[in-house]
Amino acid sequence: MTELATLRYSGKNYELPVVVGTQNEAAVDISKLRSQSGLITLDNGYGNTGSCSSSITYVDGEKGVLKYRGYLIEVLATKSTFVETAYLLIFGDLPTTSQLAEFRKLLMQHEFIHEDMRHHFDGFPPNAPPMAILSAMMNAVGCFEPVFMQADDDEYFMEPAARLMSKIRTIAAASYRKSLGKPLIYPRSKLRYVENFLHMLFSKPYEPYEADEAVVQALDKLLILHADHEQNCSTSTVRMVASSQANLYASVAAGVCALWGPLHGGANVAVIDMLSELVESGQKLDKFVERVKNRDEGVRLMGFGHRVYKNFDPRAKIIKESCHRLLDKLGIEDPLLDIAMQLEEVALKDPYFIERKLYPNVDYYSGIIMRALGIPTDMFTVIFAIGRLPGWIAHWREVHTNDSGRIDRPRQIYVGHTAREYLPIEDRG
Ligand code: SDX
């Protein structure tokens, strides 16, 4: 029996169905609101608006819970691998041995980019932002690879999904090498997903990079933690572009651009800049926190706060633990980690943060662990994109297989001029 919500407006009652999800989240279905009442809803930033129904990821912001296809992130982060988690997100179930072997084989087969694509890198200036290169090259993949639109056949979809997941590493590593004026390194098929990426980033033509197993495991876990997160800004962008029936490469390229922003995936770079500034300036932490609290200063505690989490971001906890383990294992003393923990302690005791339920999010410690892995700062958001790619692919597929096939087209409330007379230019004064 569907429960109804009643809206009373200018003397009339309108009954709207309430939709309840499998985790008991409830939503008023307003799809008939305008035709019944002439009203639309307004919700800047969509903080209260569900754009779709989805079965990929669930976040309980109040409890700090994150699940991919029903599996807790803490379980996947300790028991799974990034490739297996990517399969889970894209196809809905953990793979069998043969399915995982098939997926890995496809990742291996598609690790090269078309040789002509390599020349595209020559066209970028050395200081070109890696996220600009990544977005351009992800779109370019669609020029060299067969574009497909049949997303509803698992067997068939495995190849394009593997193709994109495999090539994003090669493109990311190539953009990094080009920025340093270093020769591009070809992938080595017998290496695991993350190992191969580190090899393409750091090997020399005559001396292959041998990744420390602790580094491989830490980066693999970091990618698992970034793999999906409901309708975040970049994933919603991918879904919006997918709704126009644009192909997977174009949709993902748009997602890369959305992720780039400092309020979203770019926050991990902003955190490192903030912590480095604090270490170099020796600024007292309580003084910095006072600046953050003073709106006129326009200073945010980067890596803190979240639209959905009003409790600890479970990913931040896992990354913080992983950070300590890796730095101990590698014998690294990073002053940024010390100051990050001190700053977290000061903030979590401060009423400003407590009242606004501002906690560390996924970006607060991720930059520190990437520094320990030897990843350069301007590649941090690229790593985030590599991690988020399976989530984008899964959502692109969900739009193409589950939704009504309708294009996303929000409405608005117009607040501009109503009627104006056209004046010839000589009379405009
Ligand atoms: C990601 O959506 C996702 O799932 C994203 C993500 C994913 O996996 O895809 O989780 C990844 O993007 C994590 C967020 C990374 N960004 C940052 O760390 C940047 C710093 N954080 C903030 O800019 C902010 O918290 C956001 C952007 C993350 C969320 O912004 P909201 O929900 O729009 O919150 P808001 O700006 O309305 O803030 C509410 C209040 C305001 O104060 P008042 O007006 O009530 O006085 O909290 C304050 C804000 O000023 N506030 C902060 C703050 N974040 C919010 N004050 C200081 N420092 C902060 N970081």
* Two tokens, residue 425: 């230019």
Per-residue H/E/C for the chain: CCCEEEEEECCEEEEEEEEECCCCCEEECCCCHHHHHCCCCCCHHHCCCCCCCCCCEEEECCCCEEEECCEEHHHHHHHCCHHHHHHHHHHCCCCCHHHHHHHHHHHHHCCCCCHHHHHHHHHCCCCCCHHHHHHHHHHHHHHHCCCCCCCCCHHHHHHHHHHHHHHHHHHHHHHHHHHCCCCCCCCCCCCCHHHHHHHHHHCECCECCCCCHHHHHHHHHHHHHCCCCCCCHHHHHHHHHHCCCCCHHHHHHHHHHHHCCCCCCCHHHHHHHHHHHHHHHCCCHHHHHHHHHCHHHCCCCCCECCCCCCCCCHHHHHHHHHHHHHHHHHCCCCHHHHHHHHHHHHHHCCHHHHHCCCCECHHHHHHHHHHHCCCCHHHHHHHHHHHHHHHHHHHHHHHHHCCCCCCCCCCCCCCCCCCCCCCCHHHCC
Report d(CA 399, CA 243) in Å as an integer. 6
Predicted local confidence at residue 180, as pLDDT: 87
Atom of ligand 1 nearest to the CA of 235: 9
* Two tokens, residue 215: 């580094």
- Ligand 1: does its nearest atom lie under 6 Å from the Cβ of 272? no
The whole-number average pLDDT for the span 202-216 is 94
Measuring from atom 35 of ligand 1, which residue has the nearest CA?
Answer: 307
Banded model confidence at residue 147, pLDDT cuts 50, 70, 90: low
Q: How remote is the CA of residue 422 from the centroid of ligand 1, in Å?
A: 43
Residue 424 scores a pLDDT above 90: yes
Identify the top-confidence range among 80-94, 257-271, 306-320: 80-94
Of these residues, 226, 363, 395, 400, which one is catalytic? 363
The whole-number average pLDDT for the span 124-128 is 88
Residue 395 scores a pLDDT above 80: yes
- Ligand 1: does its nearest atom lie under 6 Å from the Cβ of 263? yes
Atom of ligand 1 nearest to the CA of 361: 13
Q: How remote is the CA of residue 244 from the centroid of ligand 1, in Å?
A: 29
The whole-number average pLDDT for the span 173-191 is 92
What is the tens place of the pLDDT at every residue in 5-38? 999 999 999 999 999 999 999 999 999 999 999 9
Predicted local confidence at residue 67, as pLDDT: 98
Residue 149 scores a pLDDT above 60: no
The whole-number average pLDDT for the span 351-364 is 95
Atom of ligand 1 nearest to the CA of 45: 33
The whole-number average pLDDT for the span 124-151 is 85
CA dihedral for 119, 123, 125, 130, sign (positive or negative):
negative
Banded model confidence at residue 150, pLDDT cuts 50, 70, 90: low
The whole-number average pLDDT for the span 316-325 is 94
Q: How remote is the CA of residue 306 from the centroid of ligand 1, in Å?
A: 5
- Ligand 1: does its nearest atom lie under 6 Å from the Cβ of 354? no
Predicted local confidence at residue 151, as pLDDT: 65
Predicted local confidence at residue 15, as pLDDT: 96
Predicted local confidence at residue 127, as pLDDT: 87
Banded model confidence at residue 114, pLDDT cuts 50, 70, 90: very high
Instruction: Calculate the alpha carbon distances from 211 to 167, 199, 214, 330 in Å.
Output: 20, 8, 8, 12
> What is the average pLDDT score of the chain?
94
CB atoms within 10 A of CB 276: 16
Write the Ramachandran bin of 287: left for phi over 0, alpha for psi from -120 to 50, otherwise beta: alpha
**Catalytic: 119?**
no
What is the tens place of the pLDDT at every residue in 261-284? 999 998 999 999 999 999 999 999
**Catalytic: 114?**
no
Banded model confidence at residue 155, pLDDT cuts 50, 70, 90: confident
pTM of the model as a whole: 0.95
Predicted local confidence at residue 229, as pLDDT: 98
